[in-house]
Amino acid sequence: MTQLPDRTEKKLGLVIDLDTCVGCHACVVSCKGWNTENYGAPLSDQDPYGSAPTGTFLNRVHSYEVQPEQGTAQLIHFPKSCLHCEDAPCVTVCPTGASYKRVEDGIVLVNETDCIGCGLCAWACPYGARELDAAEGVMKKCTLCVDRIYNENLPEEDRVPACVRTCPAGARHFGDLGDPDSDVSQLVEARGGVDLMPEQGTKPVNKYLPPRPKDQMDRPAAQPEGDIDVLAPFLKPVAEEPKGFIGWLDKALEKL
C-alpha cells in the first residue's frame, strides 16, 4: 500500500559521519556484493569489462570540494544511499503498491514482483537513491540490509547493514533514530546531525554529521596576541639575507 504509515514503531536508519569518511568506497563494494548475492534481483552491470561500463548501485560516494572564504579548500567524501524518509515521496507515487514503508521499522522497500519498472519513484526521489536495474527492469534501492539486520543465522556483530559492518573508518552508524536514547540519536544530538535537502519536505531518517572545524595551523593570525612561546627565539630564521656564494649569486642575478 502506497499510503505512508502515520507513524512507524522504529525509525531504523544510518548516521553518516562526513568528518571521518575517507572516501575509500569500501561501503559501495560491500553493498554491491551483499545485495547482488542476497535479497531480490542482483545488481547488474552492463559492459563491465568494456569501454563504457555502467551498473546498478544502492550506495555511491561523491566527493566535494568546499572552499571557505579564508584558508584552504576542504575535500569531503559524501556517501549517499536511501535515506528512508518519513515522508517518502517515492512511495506515494508508486502506481502498483510495489514501494512501501514498513510500519515496524520504517524501512522503505520495493516488492520486486509488483514493480512495473515505470521509474516514477526514482523521479520523485530528490536524492538519487533509486536505480532501475537495466537487466531486471525493476527498481532497486537500499534495503538497509533487511536480510542481515534480523538474520539470526549471522553472528550478532554482523547484524548491521553491510556498509556499516565494512566501513574501516567507523564513519557509518546504524540504529533506531526514533529512540532519543539510542546511540545513533545521541550521536546526532552531540554532533549536530543534519537532513539533506530539508526544503524538499521528505523528513529523511538518515542523518549526516557535518565535518568538524579544521585546526588553524595554517593561519598564524589565529594565535592570540602576546602569546609567549619559549622556543620562539630558537626557531627564528637563521639567515635573513643570503651570504657567501648564494649572496653573490643573488646580487649578480639581480643586476642582470
Partner 1 sequence: MHPAPSVIIFTTLSGLGFGLLVWLGMGFPFVTGWVAFAFFAIAYALAVGGLMASTFHLGHPERALKAFTQWRTSWLSREAWVSVAALIVMALYGAGLVFLGAKWTALGWLGAALSLLTVYCTSMIYGQLKTVPRWKTPLTPALMLAIALAGGALLAGQALAALILLPVAAVLQVLWWVRGDMALSRSGTDMASATQLGDIGAVRAFEPPHTGTNYLLREFVHVVGRRHSIKLRIIALILGYALPVVLLLAPFTHLMAFLAVVSHLAGIAASRWLFFAEAEHVVGLYYGKR
Q: Which residues bind partner 1 (CB under 8 A)?
A: 1-3, 18, 25, 28, 52-57, 60-69, 73-76, 78, 80, 89, 91-98, 114-120, 122-128, 131-134, 136-139, 194-201, 208, 210-211
Shortest distance, position 98 Cβ to partner 1, whole Å: 8
Shortest distance, position 172 Cβ to partner 1, whole Å: 16
Shortest distance, position 237 Cβ to partner 1, whole Å: 32
Shortest distance, position 99 Cβ to partner 1, whole Å: 9
- List CB contacts of 122: < 8 A, sequence separation 6 or more: 90, 128, 130, 131, 132, 139
Shortest distance, position 173 Cβ to partner 1, whole Å: 17
Cβ nearer to partner 1, comparing 18 with 164: 18
**Which residues are bridge partners to 220 per DSSP?**
none
CB 81 within 8 A of CB 59: yes
Cβ nearer to partner 1, comparing 119 with 154: 119
Cβ nearer to partner 1, comparing 34 with 208: 208
CB 103 within 8 A of CB 21: no
Determine the distance from the C-alpha atom of residue 169 to the mean position of all C-alpha atoms in its chain, rounded to a whole number.
12
- List CB contacts of 129: < 8 A, sequence separation 6 or more: 58, 80, 81, 82, 83, 90, 141, 142
Cβ nearer to partner 1, comparing 18 with 160: 18
User: From residue 109, how far is each of 5, 10, 138, 175 by CA, in Å?
Assistant: 13, 15, 12, 17
Q: Edge-to-edge, what's the strand order for the sheet holding 172-176?
A: 172-176, 12-17, 207-209
Cβ nearer to partner 1, comparing 26 with 122: 122
CB 110 within 8 A of CB 141: yes
3-state secondary structure of 40: coil
Cβ nearer to partner 1, comparing 50 with 233: 50
Cβ nearer to partner 1, comparing 149 with 202: 202
User: From residue 45, how far is each of 31, 56, 133 by CA, in Å?
Assistant: 14, 6, 9
CB 201 within 8 A of CB 52: no
Shortest distance, position 40 Cβ to partner 1, whole Å: 14
Shortest distance, position 129 Cβ to partner 1, whole Å: 9
